[in-house]
Amino acid sequence: MDAHGPLAPRGRQRTIVWIDLLGAVLLGVLATTGIACLVVPTLIVVITSFDTQEFIGFPPRGFSLERYREMFQSSVILRAAQISAVTSAFTVTLGVALGVPAAIALVRREFRGKALVTALLLSPIMLPGIVIGVAMLVFYSALGLRLSLPLLVLSHVVFTMPFIVRLSMARMERIDRQLEDAARNLGAREWQVFRHVVLPQLRPGIAAGAAFAFLVSFDNLSVSLFTAPVRQRPLPIELFYLMRFDLDPVVAAVAALQFLIALCLLLFVARKLGPSGFMPDA
């Protein structure tokens, strides 16, 4: 037996420890960099919204609420925000009405072509929004349809329904079917089982999917740019034109307010539903 034999495992252990430590440090650096890339631009926009300059710039030269006053006094921005809110509300309503039954069927039923149907329903998540926007525009043109608010809602449903379907499916897979069998054994009918057993357990996934669908629809530019009617432009398009033709600092105020509303909505849903509402696979 070699005299240096017992030292070899210890040397390998030290090497493994150093490799693990180096990996943890590298992972921490990458995570910190990723978070900074997400948070810092948002903070810059929020800070810029209080600037006193007549154009968007950084660093700010003063503090003022003038941009927010202009925002609430702008009839164009308020009308665009109203259109976006109405569009998002109808999008979520229609998306839930179509997506939840589809999710239940995909989880509980076996049929030919199930994998294909699942892939088609979830495919908009993997496609760029501009591709979906152009495709919807070509489709409407082929049918001879004029762009309108209902067609805009339909386009947003196509783009956002995968969030509702996926989160509802993930939640549906976690439901304990023994509770349903117990309810049936006690004499409950199928609609009673669904209402009192399935739906309460499915509600977190529906609410989380609806929240994401609302935020994505309200802030969507790529699909809206091709499918919104000329005289009914939602808020993202109005902001796009303001930034394209005039670096109006009011845009920063609108963006900051949108960020605050989205943050409040996500925190509210997370508090009401718990972590499972946003992470149904956990």
What is the DSSP secondary-structure string of 77-135?
Answer: HHHHHHHHHHHHHHHHHHHHHHHHHHHHHHHH---TTHHHHHHHHHHHHHS-HHHHHHH
pLDDT of residue 280: 44
Judged by DSSP in three states, 62 sits in coil
Q: Write down the pLDDT at residue 86.
A: 93
pTM exceeds 0.85 for this model: no
Per the domain annotation, does 268 fall within a domain? yes
For position 29, what pLDDT does the model report? 85
Asked if residue 182 is part of any domain, the answer here is: yes
User: Domain containing 5: what range?
Assistant: 1-48
* CATH code assigned at 132: 1.10.3720.10
Predicted pLDDT at 83: 93
Please enumerate in sequence order all residues whose Cβ is within 8 A of that of 204, keeping only pairs 6 or more positions apart, or say none: 171, 273, 274, 276, 277, 280
Domain-located, residue 29: yes
Residues 88, 188, single domain; the answer is yes
- Identify whether residues 42 and 75 lie together within a single domain: no
If asked whether residues 123 and 227 sit together in one domain, one would say: yes
Identify whether 111 is part of a domain.
yes
The pLDDT of residue 281 is 45
Predicted pLDDT of residue 268: 76
Q: Does any domain span residue 215?
A: yes
Residue appearing with tokens 């379907």: 165
Query: Tokens 């993997």 map to which residue?
Result: 126
State whether 95 and 18 are in the same domain. Answer: no
b/e map 103-132, b = 16+ CB within 10 Å: bbebbeeeeeeeeeebeebbebeeeebeeb
Q: Find out whether 87 and 223 touch, Cβ atoms under 8 Å.
A: no
- Residues 129 and 205 grouped into a single domain: yes
- In the chain, the number of structural domains is 2
Is 204 inside a domain boundary? yes
Asked if residue 60 is part of any domain, the answer here is no
State the Cα–Cα distance between residues 275 and 114, nearest whole angstrom.
Answer: 29
Residues 114 and 143 in one domain: yes
Looking at the structure, tell me whether residues 87 and 141 fall in a common domain. Answer: yes
CB 164 within 8 A of CB 103: yes
Q: Do residues 272 and 179 share a domain? A: yes
Q: Do 23 and 116 belong together in one domain?
A: no
Looking at the structure, tell me whether residues 9 and 115 fall in a common domain.
no
Residue 238 and residue 109 share a domain: yes
Is residue 60 a contact partner of residue 53, using CB atoms and an 8 Å limit?
A: yes
The backbone torsions φ and ψ at residue 108, rounded to the nearest 5 degrees and listed phi first, read -95, -15
Average pLDDT along the chain, 282 residues, taken 10 residues at a time: 52 70 82 83 82 74 82 88 93 93 88 85 86 91 90 93 89 82 81 82 86 90 89 87 76 86 80 55 43
Same domain, 4 and 127: no
Residue 250 lies in a domain: yes
